Amino acid sequence: MPRQRLAERLAAARADREAAQAVRTRRVVEAREGMQVLVDGRQLTSFCGNDYLGLSQHLDVVAALQEAAAWHGVGSTGSAGVSGHHAEHAAFEREMAQWLGYERGLFFGTGYQANLAVLQSLLGEGDLCVQDKLNHACLIDGARLSRCELKRYPHADVEAAMRQLMTRRDGVAILATDGVFSMDGDQAPLADLALVARAQDALLYVDDAHGVGVLGPEGRGSLAVAGLGAREVPLLLVPLGKAFGGQGAMLLGSHAVVGHIAETARPYLYSTAPAPAMAAAMRASLKLIRSQPWRRAKLASLVARFRRGASALGLPLQESFTPIQPIVLGDNARALSLSAALEQAGYLVTAIRPPTVPEQQARLRITLSCEHNERDVDGLLAALAEALGARKAPQPA
Ligand SMILES: Cc1ncc(COP(=O)(O)O)c(C=O)c1O
């Protein structure tokens, strides 16, 4: 058989994506102030970012980054095990561990990298990783990288998780779930999953990218809401590109487990450590998350306003009480055309299509931030109503 030409394969794949309306393009953000973005020369109100608490441009956070960069430079100069582990990283790891009640933290350059690292380092052939079907792609990819057996249970189905854990008793088992599901906004049944993990001798690992900062007292996230801590959830990931308004991820766990990952995880060992200035900025974000509950209160009230208005309009809301409020539309063409109509009306809400979400579940993933105001929310609702031909005008609160 002749070798397949790469160019032909790529052209065929591109044609398939075009036919399925699955081509992905990147929009260039030329300027941004809060939720106002300048894209292709037009000012739009963004409803699709993850800056839930508006910290990405907060003066304290920006000043911490600038000052640390002035003192320490931009790059970390090496991987953490060689020359890249800085006092700012160490301080941030200690502060996060103390705040969330864990023995130790480990700072990664991205959440994606952290999930590859955790699962690759803790699991291998003969082990089992049981995951919610709607977990973020990097949890799935981490399990694949580890070569363990990966089983995925129907979304939020605790009994199915239990059954899958019961299929294998020989190796190590990890039960992994998002705390808040990134494309749906609903919350994992963590208390029940903790019971299942304990009964099945599995380690429960929660990726709370969209929970920490937003939910619970002081923004401690999904675990605090469910009344759980390090005993029930021995390993927790806090990606920092969302409520923290920065980049990277903090892994939290015991000295033994996190220490093992720090010494053996290939995605951690063989990658340049994040900038010390980013750790400094995230320390500033942590202070604001803890000390400014008004950000969460305002966000919650905007979420409630959006849901009230959307249900008055008969929009198909999901069971989500977090800032992620998807409108599931079905096929790609519908999601794209609604996104384009919203853009015409002045709103940036990118269409989310498979494989990011299951087939026939293309959607608008609307996200709210405390940087929005009531007028923004009402304006978006009116634009949605217009675009969808909904039954009545939005009801003011
Ligand atoms: C649940 C979840 N985990 C991990 C990630 C990846 O984190 P990062 O963007 O820092 O790579 C994301 C989103 O980006 C996410 O939604």
Q: Does residue 270 share a domain with residue 302?
A: no
Q: Does residue 341 share a domain with residue 218?
A: no
> Ranked by mean pLDDT, which of 2-6, 278-282, 356-360 comes out on top?
278-282
What is the predicted pLDDT for the residue at 3? 83
Nearby residues of 291 by Cβ (< 8 Å), 6 or more positions away: none
Q: Which atom of ligand 1 is nearest to the CA of 247?
A: 10
Mean pLDDT of 146-169: 96
Ligand 1 pocket, residue 335 CB under 6 Å:
no
Q: Is the pLDDT of residue 356 over 60?
A: yes
Q: Does the annotation place 272 within a ligand binding site?
A: no
What is the predicted pLDDT for the residue at 1? 73
Q: Is the pLDDT of residue 393 over 60?
A: no
Q: Does residue 269 share a domain with residue 334?
A: no
Ligand 1 center to residue 372 CA distance, Å?
Answer: 23
Ligand 1 pocket, residue 52 CB under 6 Å:
no
Q: Does residue 163 share a domain with residue 122?
A: yes
Q: Does the annotation place 245 within a ligand binding site?
A: no
Mean pLDDT of 101-130: 98
CATH number at residue 154: 3.40.640.10
What is the predicted pLDDT for the residue at 148? 98
Q: Is the pLDDT of residue 397 over 50?
A: no
Ligand 1 pocket, residue 149 CB under 6 Å:
no
Q: Does the annotation place 347 within a ligand binding site?
A: no
Q: Quick check: is 79 in a domain?
A: yes
Mean pLDDT of 337-352: 96
Ligand 1 center to residue 314 CA distance, Å?
Answer: 31
State which of 260, 291, 322 marks the end of a domain.
291
State which of 267, 291, 315 marks the end of a domain.
291
The residue ranking higher by pLDDT, 395 or 178, is 178
What is the predicted pLDDT for the residue at 366? 98
Q: Is the pLDDT of residue 305 over 70?
A: yes
Ligand 1 pocket, residue 242 CB under 6 Å:
no
Q: Does residue 136 share a domain with residue 243?
A: yes
Q: Does residue 98 share a domain with residue 39?
A: no
Confidence class for position 268, pLDDT limits 50, 70, 90: very high
Q: Is the pLDDT of residue 139 over 80?
A: yes
Q: Is the pLDDT of residue 377 over 80?
A: yes
pLDDT digits (tens, 9 = 90+) for 220-265: 999 999 999 999 999 999 999 999 999 999 999 999 999 999 999 9
Ligand 1 center to residue 90 CA distance, Å?
Answer: 22
Q: Quick check: is 395 in a domain?
A: no
State which of 291, 313, 330 marks the end of a domain.
291
Mean pLDDT of 115-126: 98
Ligand 1 center to residue 8 CA distance, Å?
Answer: 32
CATH number at residue 348: 3.90.1150.10
pLDDT digits (tens, 9 = 90+) for 199-210: 999 999 999 999
Q: Does the annotation place 136 within a ligand binding site?
A: yes
Ligand 1 center to residue 82 CA distance, Å?
Answer: 26
Confidence class for position 46, pLDDT limits 50, 70, 90: very high
Confidence class for position 56, pLDDT limits 50, 70, 90: very high
Ligand 1 center to residue 111 CA distance, Å?
Answer: 5
Q: Quick check: is 9 in a domain?
A: no
Pocket of ligand 1, candidates 108, 112, 352: which has the most ligand atoms within 8 Å of its Cβ, to mutate?
112
Confidence class for position 169, pLDDT limits 50, 70, 90: confident
Percentage of the residues of the chain whose pLDDT score is greater than 70: 98
The boundaries of the domain holding residue 341 are 20-49+293-388
Ligand 1 center to residue 49 CA distance, Å?
Answer: 13
Confidence class for position 391, pLDDT limits 50, 70, 90: very low
pLDDT digits (tens, 9 = 90+) for 282-297: 999 999 999 999 999 9
Mean pLDDT of 58-86: 98
Ligand 1 pocket, residue 112 CB under 6 Å:
yes
CA 85, CA 89: separation in Å to the nearest integer? 6
Q: Residue 50 is encoded by which pair of tokens? A: 């993850």
Ligand 1 pocket, residue 110 CB under 6 Å:
yes
Mean pLDDT of 70-91: 98
Q: Is the pLDDT of residue 396 over 70?
A: no
The residue ranking higher by pLDDT, 1 or 298, is 298
Q: Quick check: is 10 in a domain?
A: no
Q: Does residue 213 share a domain with residue 118?
A: yes
Q: Does residue 250 share a domain with residue 228?
A: yes
Pocket of ligand 1, candidates 115, 116, 118, 136: which has the most ligand atoms within 8 Å of its Cβ, to mutate?
136
Ligand 1 pocket, residue 249 CB under 6 Å:
yes
pLDDT digits (tens, 9 = 90+) for 233-242: 999 999 999 9
Confidence class for position 91, pLDDT limits 50, 70, 90: very high
Pocket of ligand 1, candidates 52, 178, 182, 240: which has the most ligand atoms within 8 Å of its Cβ, to mutate?
182
Q: Residue 183 is encoded by which pair of tokens? A: 């494309």
Structural domains counted in the chain: 2
Q: Does the annotation place 356 within a ligand binding site?
A: yes
Ligand 1 pocket, residue 185 CB under 6 Å:
no
Ligand 1 pocket, residue 136 CB under 6 Å:
yes
Q: Does residue 134 share a domain with residue 238?
A: yes
Ligand 1 pocket, residue 111 CB under 6 Å:
yes
Ligand 1 center to residue 382 CA distance, Å?
Answer: 31
Give me the chain's average pLDDT, please. 96
